[in-house]
Amino acid sequence: MNSESVRIPIEGVLDLHTFDPRDIKILIPEYLSLCRSKKIREVKIIHGKGTGTLKNLVIRQIEKIEYVMGFRDAGPNDGGWGATIVFLKV
């Protein structure tokens, strides 16, 4: 991440629209780790629909995390394929 710190509420929803895609590799594991430490078991990552590039980057990152039990697209009323729901072991 860049040298400027950004405060993100740890409430189980991460909207990536305001972040540089280069920061995703660090941001995703850090955010999921903080959610896990707060006993949040289900996290929604909003990446948008676009071309699918950001979504693929997000999926590649969450697949590397050992405490991720699984993930899926959000439901149709919760972002559809523009958001990914991640299930964490607590």
- What's the structural domain count of the chain? 1
Domain carrying residue 24 = 13-88
pTM here?
Answer: 0.90
- Classify residue 73: in a domain, yes or no: yes
Instruction: For the chain, 90 residues long, give each residue's pLDDT as a single digit of tens.
Output: 444 666 788 999 999 998 998 999 999 999 999 999 999 999 999 999 988 999 999 999 999 999 999 999 999 999 999 999 999 997
- Classify residue 3: in a domain, yes or no: no
CATH code (residue 34): 3.30.1370.110
Query: Alpha-carbon torsion 67, 69, 7, 38, what sign?
Result: negative
